[in-house]
Structure 1
Amino acid sequence: MGTVERKTAGSSQNGSARPHPMGVQHLLERAQWDPDAARNILRDYVVEQFGERDAVLIVDETGFLKKGEHSAGVQRQYSGTAGRIENSQIGVFLCYAGNGGSAFIDRALYMPQSWIEDRPRCRAAGVPDNVGFATKPQLARRMLERALDAGVPCGRVTGDEVYGGDRPLRLWLESRAQPFVLAVKKNEPLWWKGTDLCAP
């Protein structure tokens, strides 16, 4: 499915045991299911398969290139998928890696401030009124909190500069005594024994 440029129910059906796309169409268009409950079931299954005390929780985002303006959260923004600013959606993901395997266990769609301030546009795209603006590190913290509160075994949390550069996220992990390895920019101010240090 990864080599298909445009995903449809028909192209997504390729490789499935079912020869007709109606099952996929029903799941995508009409089926009623709780995505958060599905997330929790998936998370529990992944931990059952790969769970170990020294496992790693990885936070990262990826872009989904789009041609139109109506998909929730779409705008011209930097997309790591394209390596440049493109019309795209950005998803933040939490991956669990341990015991020789890895899998995604949580996700969140990044909604730019311009979208949150345009409620009619949000409603037209199916975005609930109670969805407010959150930065990517704030979305990551929510996902990490869900996983850690659920008892997901984790030796450390890791992520790139988008997350390492967010001091509140680092302080929150420290407050939980949760080890982490997060990248920071070379000029990120750091504290050492009460002194504000700045790397050259």
Structure 2
Amino acid sequence: MVASIEATLELWASSLRDVKGRMRPLFTQDRVAASAGLFLDGLLAEERRKTGWMRAEAAGDPGPWRQQAILGRGRWDADALRDIVRDYVVEHLSDDDAVLVLDETGFLKQGHASCGVGRQYTGSAGKITNCQIGVFAAYASRHGHAFVDRAPYLPKAWTGDPSRLKAAHVPVDVGFATKPALALAMIHRAIEAHVPFAWVAADSVYGVGDIEMALRRAGKGYVLGVNANSQFNSWIGKPPVAGTAAEIAEGLDPAAWQRLSAGKGTKGERLHDWAYLELADLEAAEYDKHSSGLWTRGLLIRRHVADGELAFFTTWCPAGTPIETLVQVEGRRWAIEDSFETAKNELGLDHNETRSWHGWHRHVSLVMLAFAMMSAIRHKANGAIPAKRGVEARALNRR
């Protein structure tokens, strides 16, 4: 079904009223709440650059001061807005088989004063450059996808410099945390908030023991990237396997590979060759006394059709889970890549002009709210709508 232009515009207007109403209790004064609403309008407007001056012009303000105050001088809780976004996403996109996707993205920056900035690698630029890094969690279901959590990564050059932390208004209780540790905290928050999901997917940055054990204890399946030199061994009752992931892949019989789709992308089905090895069947009760039944630890291998490049994933799933399911879960990682691209190109995710800890969290959380609203509208509209000007048409029609 395709919604009419009139129905979609009404859905757009009602959704915008709804999300503004949800964040209204965060502000003690009506004028500040109104400025926050105008900030959200600016993020959703047609302008490609979401600078303070651009948002101010769209809001009819003589300068960017009110817009800047929302991110800096104002007093409101960005984590409370994060929770509002998460609850909104669950309300509109909830599915028990959903995948929580973890990944990071870079924000290119000049200078050294912006919170967490430094010379570090970011996949956004494909190189080491001066940037901030943000770790994100996205909720991906059959209804759509949207961000539900975020955290800035602070390098040791920051956490080891109290004067620098103070200048950026970083809370005194914030210390160094690895990217996997930030992601693990997001997993715990999602579980504590009773977010319905069955799986976690992430690249090799997050394929670490702490995350694996936490998910096993929580009764969640996972498909987590690992490095080629990660060691794997099978247990009693499974075909003998031992060695690094790369060595195991090299020794596979050609018949072990299957060509499967990880889901549709912008250019059609994302086809790769896949192999899956079951390594051990374990009782779920060993990790969670409230769970029962056998779960399987395994190794999933992806081979690029064109150049043969390999990628490796450690897996945990209910016994009997077919390879097709694991491939689809891994394919859900595309959702967060699409989210980063859309949020940066359409909603100004990387247009934050503040330097402080609070400014980063506030800006990113407001963008998350705008993105969640777009995802909910798209789901409600049951598909793409006739093309029209503005971000609402471009974002709703993304694939």
- Give the stretch that moved more between structures: 120-129 or 24-33: 24-33
Q: 1:84 matched to which residue of 2?
A: 127
Correspondent of 1:192 among 207, 218, 234: 234
Give, as a single letter, the amino acid of the residue that structure 2 aligns with 1:115.
W
Considering fraction of residues, name the structure with more helix.
2
> SS at the partner of 2:194?
coil
Cα distance in 2 for partners of 1:86, 1:3 equals 24
Q: 2:118 matched to which residue of 1?
A: 75
TM-score of the superposed pair, with normalisation by structure 1 = 0.89
The answer as to whether partners of 2:149 and 2:186 remain within 8 angstroms in 1 is yes
**Larger-Rg structure:** 2
Correspondent of 1:51 among 71, 88, 94: 94
Cα distance in 2 for partners of 1:140, 1:148 equals 13
State the 1:13 CA deviation.
4.9
> SS at the partner of 2:214?
helix
Cα distance in 2 for partners of 1:188, 1:89 equals 29
Runs of 4 or more consecutive aligned structure 1 residues displaced over 4 Å after TM superposition: 194-197
Cα distance in 2 for partners of 1:140, 1:184 equals 16
Q: 2:375 matched to which residue of 1?
A: none
The answer as to whether partners of 2:93 and 2:145 remain within 8 angstroms in 1 is yes
The answer as to whether partners of 2:154 and 2:176 remain within 8 angstroms in 1 is yes
State the 1:24 CA deviation.
2.4
Return 5+ residue gaps in structure 2 as ranges: 1-42, 248-399
> SS at the partner of 2:226?
coil
Question: Percent identity of the aligned residues?
Answer: 46
> SS at the partner of 1:183?
strand
Q: 2:74 matched to which residue of 1?
A: 31
State the 1:76 CA deviation.
0.3
Return 5+ residue gaps in structure 1 as ranges: none
The answer as to whether partners of 2:180 and 2:206 remain within 8 angstroms in 1 is yes
Cα distance in 2 for partners of 1:12, 1:64 equals 20
Cα distance in 2 for partners of 1:13, 1:58 equals 34
Q: 2:173 matched to which residue of 1?
A: 130
The answer as to whether partners of 2:100 and 2:138 remain within 8 angstroms in 1 is yes
Q: CA RMSD in A?
A: 2.0
The answer as to whether partners of 2:199 and 2:222 remain within 8 angstroms in 1 is yes
Residue-by-residue CA offset, 1:129-150 (whole Å, 9 max, x unaligned): 2111110000000011100111
Cα distance in 1 for partners of 2:70, 2:225 equals 38
Cα distance in 1 for partners of 2:53, 2:97 equals 41
- Give the stretch that moved more between structures: 101-110 or 188-197: 188-197
Compared CA separation, residues 26 and 120, structure 1 to 2 (3 A): closer
Cα distance in 2 for partners of 1:172, 1:191 equals 21
State the 1:97 CA deviation.
1.3
Correspondent of 1:170 among 199, 212, 224: 212
Cα distance in 2 for partners of 1:186, 1:67 equals 35
Cα distance in 2 for partners of 1:125, 1:22 equals 19
Cα distance in 1 for partners of 2:187, 2:206 equals 12
Give, as a single letter, the amino acid of the residue that structure 2 aligns with 1:19.
G
Cα distance in 2 for partners of 1:13, 1:106 equals 27
* Higher RCO (CA-CA < 8 Å; seq separation 6+): 2
Q: 1:95 matched to which residue of 2?
A: 138
The answer as to whether partners of 2:104 and 2:135 remain within 8 angstroms in 1 is yes
